[in-house]
Amino acid sequence: MAHVIDFSGKRALVTGGASGIGYGIAVALAEAGAEVTITARSEESLAACETKTPYGELEAVRLDVADDKAIDTLLEDFGDLDFLVNSAGTIVRAGGEYEIAKFQHVMDINLTGTLRMCHACLPKLAMRRGAVVNIASMMSYFAAPHAPAYGASKTAIVSLTRSLAVAWAEHHVRINAIAPGWIDTKLARPALEDPDRGPKIMARLPMKRWGTPADMGGTAVFLCSPDAAYLTGVTIPVDGGYSAM
Helices 113-127 and 148-167 pack at an angle, to 10 degrees, of 20
Residue 239 burial (10 A CB sphere; 0-12, 13-18, 19+): buried
**Total residues interacting with ligand NAP, rule: CB under 6 A:** 29
- Asked if residue 112 binds ligand NAP (CB under 6 A), the reply is no
- Asked if residue 16 binds ligand NAP (CB under 6 A), the reply is yes
Single residue of 34, 111, 158, 183 touching ligand NAP by CB under 6 A? 183
Least distance from ligand NAP to the Cβ atom of residue 80, Å:
22
Least distance from ligand NAP to the Cβ atom of residue 240, Å:
11
Distances (CA, A) of 142 to 74, 110, 151, 231, 242: 35, 17, 8, 25, 11
Closer residue to ligand NAP in complex, CB, 17/130: 17
- Asked if residue 140 binds ligand NAP (CB under 6 A), the reply is no
- Asked if residue 242 binds ligand NAP (CB under 6 A), the reply is no
Closer residue to ligand NAP in complex, CB, 90/232: 90
DSSP helix/strand/coil, 52: strand
- Asked if residue 90 binds ligand NAP (CB under 6 A), the reply is yes
Single residue of 51, 56, 59, 66 touching ligand NAP by CB under 6 A? 66
- Asked if residue 182 binds ligand NAP (CB under 6 A), the reply is yes
Q: What share of the chain is helix, strand, coil (3-state, %, to 5)?
A: 45, 15, 35
Active site residues: 150
Single residue of 11, 41, 116, 124 touching ligand NAP by CB under 6 A? 41
Give Cβ neighbours of residue 239 (< 8 Å, ≥ 6 apart). 138, 179, 180, 181, 182, 211
Q: What is the dihedral of CA 207, 211, 212, 218, to 10 degrees?
A: 80
Could you tell me if 22 and 85 are in contact, meaning their C-beta atoms sit under 8 angstroms apart? yes
- Asked if residue 15 binds ligand NAP (CB under 6 A), the reply is yes
Single residue of 33, 55, 61, 64 touching ligand NAP by CB under 6 A? 64
Single residue of 87, 155, 176, 235 touching ligand NAP by CB under 6 A? 87
Q: Which amino acid is at 143?
A: A
Single residue of 13, 40, 81, 228 touching ligand NAP by CB under 6 A? 40
Q: Binding residues for ligand NAP, per CB under 6 A?
A: 15-16, 18-22, 40-42, 45, 63-66, 87-90, 109, 135, 137, 180, 182-183, 185-188
